[in-house]
Amino acid sequence: MRTNTLPRRLMLKRSACFQRVYRAGRSYANRYLVLYVFRIHAGDQKKLYGSVGFAAGKKLGCAVKRNRVKRLLRESYRRHRAELAPQTALVLVGRKAAVEAACGDVERAYLALCRKAGILRASRPMA
């Protein structure tokens, strides 16, 4: 196994987990993606700690384009997951502009949303 890959145990897989983050979390958006952030409290029964999900709707195009967008989102998350605050579950949803975007553009957009959400360890949470 490669050491620079994102472990599958960290990814959200069940629809119920995605729905919980969508419903109970806050959303932040820009041109390339939408970031849903769910802060996990100590009393939560569900195991969402350190979890992330990636989504790309059919409006983005064929499966090849959707998979490329999800790869870009996964790579952006993987590069910066050590900088994220603990006890947060994320869902990253790709937007139409991400289909033609470069990896660096998506990564900058992801970091901007993380700062806006206050989930980077160096940043302060916004009220």
pLDDT at res. 79: 93
Average pLDDT, integer, range 71-75: 95
Residue 126 in any domain: the answer is no
Residue 3 in any domain: the answer is no
CB of 60 closer than 8 Å to CB of 32? no
DSSP the chain: --TTSPPGGGB--SHHHHHHHHHHSEEEE-SSEEEEEEEPPTT--S--TT-EEEE--GGG-SHHHHHHHHHHHHHHHHHHGGGBPSSEEEEEEE-GGGGS--HHHHHHHHHHHHHHHT-BTTSPPP-
In angstroms, rounded to a whole number, what is the distance separating the alpha carbons of residues 4 and 8?
A: 12
First to last CA, the chain: 41
pLDDT at res. 51: 87
Q: Which amino acid is at 85?
A: A
Summarised one tens digit per residue, pLDDT across range 23-65 is: 999 999 999 999 999 988 766 545 665 589 999 999 999 999 9
How many CA atoms lie less than 13 Å away from 39 in the CB half-sphere?
A: 8
CATH number at residue 66: 3.30.230.10
Counted domains in the chain = 1
pTM of the model: 0.86
Residue 2 in any domain: the answer is no
Q: Which amino acid is at 101?
A: A
Share of the chain above pLDDT 70, in %: 86
In angstroms, rounded to a whole number, what is the distance separating the alpha carbons of residues 13 and 126?
A: 29
Domain with 96, as residue range(s), is: 10-117
Q: Which residues of 10-25 are buried (b: 16+ CB within 10 A; e: fewer)?
A: eebeeeebbebbeeeb
pLDDT at res. 122: 62
